[in-house]
Each structure stands twice: as structure tokens, then as C-alpha cells.
Chain A
């Protein structure tokens, strides 16, 4: 084994060097710094975390397992509605609401995944889109449960862990979303490095190979899809709990498209892409909407084109180039 370790590929996921490790701690340090330095921007910060969590959920499906979902907002929306319904009818405890929403969304992902994941490619993309459209229309029609067009107004939640009130400045929402994001990030990172994670990445790379080693491909994909749906549901629940309302826009096809764009912007198949994509998208949206509320999508569109044209791997690809400069590697 020792002699074979001499050859180290540059591109393969090797153990991080010191600069890379510092780079990985940086985002979490920034979360704390922002909390103290920009106390009037915490609501925006919470939106970044929620979008990052949503994009992270999509990354597991698309970036790792190769399930291109055009309808991920279905899970996000179901999570949001479930959190609201839980607060209205069951309990005002935010953590229980979060867990409830996560489980409901994961179950929906499990059932729909079982139905559609024997297909692949464009067929599968269309089916994810169709399911999201059905879910959105159901939410629109089921007025008694979802409030239809009016959406749901949540009652005041209990303080988080019995201590932290959801305040007007969004301090609790900010730290709460950051903590949930951190937990899901650590779990996701553990999973993508696991035998399970390697096998779903194998399914994306070459499904024939995985069948030839005896992988139950369908079951693996369904499990990934359900996990991804659960995380998306968590993101939706956070959105509902931090704003106190849920509307049909949480489930819209536009939301499905947005999260895919955020992930592509940041870079797929590397977890941190979701963070950087969400940060850039949400902050830019905020800035641009202040300056020109009607044409801000133009800015996002132009940025998207530039990233896709010039960077292989989204903004994380740019981070790679910079990182290599700093660690002094030539390639």
C-alpha cells in the first residue's frame, strides 16, 4: 500500500491540506462574524441558509446520484405546509415542527421516488416536473388544509429550546437556520463519503457497472431521493417558521427552477456549491431588487451565462483555481 500512495491524482478527493481546511472552516466563521457585524441583515442571512439547505438537498439527488429533478420545490413546499399545519393543529414547538415536516417530505419523496425512479434521463426529468405540478395544484385546490391562494398564517411559535424567542430582527431565525444547515451539511458529507454515497455516485457515472457488481440500483436511488426530499422539506419548514407564513409560491415550478439554477451557479456534486450558489444568488437578488426591482433577473441571467460559459464547475470551480494558486500547485 505504501508504494502505491506515491501517485496522487490532483483531481481526486484527497485529504485536505492546511489551506483547504482553513477554506472549509471559513464559511462557518463567516456565519458568526455576520451575526455580530451585520445585525440588521440577519433575515437576509437566514434566507441564504435556507436556500443553501434547499440547494444542498438537490445536490444529493442531482450532483451525486444523477437524478435531475425539475420539481424539487414539491418537497420544499410540502415541508413548509407541514410545518405550518403542525404549528396550527399539533404543537407550537419549532423543533417538533421541523422534524414533522422533514418526515412528511421524505415520505412523499419515498413514495413518488418508488413510482418514477425506474426511468432515467429526460423521462425522469419530465416525471419530476409533473409530480411537482400535481403537488402545486393540489395545494391550490385543497383550500381547507392549505388555505389555497391565501396561504397559511402560522400562530406564534414557542421559543426555540424553551429559551430563544423568534424576534423581529431574525436573530433566532438566523442562528436556527444556520444550525440546521450545519447539521444537515455534516450528515450529507458523511453520507457522500460512505459506501452508500460512493455507490450512488457510481450509479450516476455508469449504471451498467453498478448492475454488474450487483447493486440494487432502484432501491439505492429511491433511498437517495427520499433523503433529498427530507432535507428539502427541512428547508421549507425553516422558511415557514422564520417568516410565519406559507404560500403557493413555495411550491411553484419557478422555485424548482430557481434552486436548480442556484446549484448550477455554485457547482454540483460538491456540497459547498450549494452554499456559494445560495449566497451569491440571494445577496445579489437583494441588491439588484433594491436598485431595479423590475430587471434584477437580467443580472442573475447574465451571471449564470458567464459562469456556465467560463467555469467548468460553477463558482466552486473558480474557488478551485484560486485554491490551487494559493497552495502553489502548477496544474
Chain B
């Protein structure tokens, strides 16, 4: 699978656990993401996929386990600091600045990335540079023609692309895609699929997705999560042939 990468993993997760009361939502998960990794995280509803992403990103604190980014522990950092270290996510439901234009949504992220977002009085050239770079990212995700349109007026599929554009503009080391194609009408889905295949090669990507066709096309390794723990993992072909995985899906949901 990833044996060709002899380097240390970019993201190293060991024994990550979380309980809500007596419910074990995450059971001692181990995961390595190398540069350029393309890992699909699947599992039936309620398997704890989103909780796992929330633990990684620091939205909720883990009870036990370690997370290291480029060899440095980050499990005690706030969510914002993890982002600044290069651990970036997209949201299952769009989280955009709806009153702003598409280009400003990205420019604001770039200003934050470049530590320019504290500037109050002297910012003319710095802000212009952010806006110019933002236009490049919009071209990258295929939204250049909508740059100055209000985000609230974009189609849902275009908003999803903008989510990905914002994430990329932060120049992540690790990118977590939380159901990037969820809820997108089929007419717009191919633009998102194409974008996912065009993601920068050196970024390590972990994707949660219910659309099996998309996952199996995208991922080079698939991790199956059941009841908060890793059920099995392997190459897409192995997983597709695995009778037990099929049973888990057929038994619980019709995904």
C-alpha cells in the first residue's frame, strides 16, 4: 500500500480514544498518514467517523492517545493551533462566510495563514496580495468566474468546491475531507470528484465518504470503522472482496 514511502508519517495517531459516558465512540485508533497518502475512512452510520475527525482536529478533546504532526505532538493544542500547524479540514455541512464574496472567503483564510490577520491600520499591499493569491486558488478549484459573487448566491456544489478551495489555500500538510460530495446534486458531483482527484500530490488526505464509488476510486488504502474501532484496513480491492465488511454494511445500513 504505502510501503514505497520509507519516510516518517506526516500524521501519526496512536491509541486515540473517547468515551461519552459508558459509550465508547472511539476505541484506541492507530493511523499513519504519509505525504501523498490517500486514505478512505468508511463505516456504517454511527461508527464514529465524524467523532474521529473531531478528535483529530481538536474540536472535542480526546480521553487518551497521541497525535503527532511531523513528529511533534499536537494532541494538547487548540483546534486553531492545529490548523496553523497544517492540519486542515473541510466540513460535512458548508461552513462559509455567506455575506462575503467567494474571493474574500479565501483571502481571509490566506491572511490568517500568513499571520496578517491582526493588521488593523497598515495593510493595503498585504491585503491586495491575499486577494490576488485567492484568485489563483479560485481558478484552481474552477470558480474563477464566480469570484466576486456573494457566497450565499452560489450553488451548493460551488459552495462545496469553495470549501475545498479555502482548505487548500491554507497549504495543509494533512487534509481531512468530511463527506466532500454529500448532498451535491448529481449534475454537479463530477466537478467535485474531478477536484478531489486533482488535490496536490504531496498533501496527505483522509476522506470520510458514504459514496462508495468515490471512495474506491480515490483511496489507495481504506480503513473500515465499526462501533468506534478499526474493524479492518487494506487496499480497496481487498476491502471490496471482504465478506465481513459487506456483512457489516448490509446488516446495518443500505449505504
Q: Which residues of A contact B (CB under 8 A)?
A: 1, 3-5, 7-9, 11-12, 187, 190-191, 194-199, 201-202, 205-206, 208-209, 211-217, 220, 223
Which chain A residues border B130 with CB–CB below 8 Å? 195
Which chain A residues border B132 with CB–CB below 8 Å? 1
A195 touches B97 (CB 8 A): no
Name the CB-closest residue of A to B81. A214
How far, in angstroms, from A208 to B89 measured CA to CA in the complex?
11
Q: Please, could you name 30 A-B residue pairs with CB atoms under 8 Å apart, sorted by A?
A: A1-B132, A3-B144, A4-B103, A4-B135, A4-B144, A7-B149, A8-B148, A9-B149, A12-B150, A187-B121, A190-B121, A195-B108, A195-B126, A196-B120, A198-B100, A198-B104, A198-B107, A198-B108, A198-B117, A205-B97, A209-B96, A209-B166, A211-B59, A212-B83, A212-B166, A212-B167, A214-B80, A214-B81, A214-B170, A220-B117
In the complex with contacts A195-B127, A198-B104, A214-B98 CB distance below 8 A: no
Which chain B residues border A215 with CB–CB below 8 Å? 80, 112, 117
Closest 4 CB pairs of A and B: A214-B83, A4-B147, A195-B111, A213-B109
A196 contacts which of B79, B81, B119 (Cβ < 8 Å)? B119
How far, in angstroms, from A211 to B147 measured CA to CA in the complex?
23
A9 touches B148 (CB 8 A): yes
A212 touches B95 (CB 8 A): yes
Within 8 A of A (CB), among B29-45: none
The number of A-B residue pairs with CB atoms under 8 Å apart is 119
Within 8 A of A (CB), among B127-155: 127, 130, 132, 135, 138, 144-150, 153
Give chain B's interface residue range (CB within 8 Å of chain A): 35 or more
A213 touches B120 (CB 8 A): no
How far, in angstroms, from A223 to B96 measured CA to CA in the complex?
23
Name the CB-closest residue of A to B148. A7
Which chain A residues border B167 with CB–CB below 8 Å? 212
B95 touches A194 (CB 8 A): no
Which chain A residues border B117 with CB–CB below 8 Å? 195-196, 198-199, 215, 220
How far, in angstroms, from A81 to B137 measured CA to CA in the complex?
52
Name the CB-closest residue of B to A209. B95
Which chain B residues border A5 with CB–CB below 8 Å? 147-148
In the complex with contacts A9-B150, A196-B119, A197-B120, A214-B135 CB distance below 8 A: no
A206 touches B83 (CB 8 A): no
Which chain A residues border B107 with CB–CB below 8 Å? 198
A214 touches B84 (CB 8 A): yes
How far, in angstroms, from A201 to B108 measured CA to CA in the complex?
10
A4 touches B120 (CB 8 A): no
B166 touches A213 (CB 8 A): yes
| Closest chain A CB from B105 CB (angstroms) | 8
Which chain A residues border B99 with CB–CB below 8 Å? 201, 205
| Closest chain B CB from A210 CB (angstroms) | 8
In the complex with contacts A211-B79, A212-B89, A202-B108 CB distance below 8 A: yes
Name the CB-closest residue of A to B146. A7
How far, in angstroms, from A123 to B227 measured CA to CA in the complex?
36
B220 CB within 8 Å of chain A: no
B193 CB within 8 Å of chain A: no
Which chain A residues border B104 with CB–CB below 8 Å? 198
| Closest chain A CB from B188 CB (angstroms) | 19
B231 CB within 8 Å of chain A: no
Q: Beyond the given A212-B167, A215-B117, could you list 5 further A-B residue pairs with CB under 8 A, ordered by the A residue number? A: A12-B101, A205-B99, A206-B98, A213-B83, A213-B112
B233 CB within 8 Å of chain A: no
B120 touches A205 (CB 8 A): no
A4 touches B145 (CB 8 A): yes
Which chain B residues border A4 with CB–CB below 8 Å? 103, 135, 138, 144-148
B135 contacts which of A1, A205, A209, A212 (Cβ < 8 Å)? A1
A212 touches B97 (CB 8 A): no
A208 touches B145 (CB 8 A): no
How far, in angstroms, from A191 to B127 measured CA to CA in the complex?
12
B118 CB within 8 Å of chain A: yes
Which chain B residues border A198 with CB–CB below 8 Å? 100, 104, 107-108, 111, 117
Name the CB-closest residue of B to A196. B120
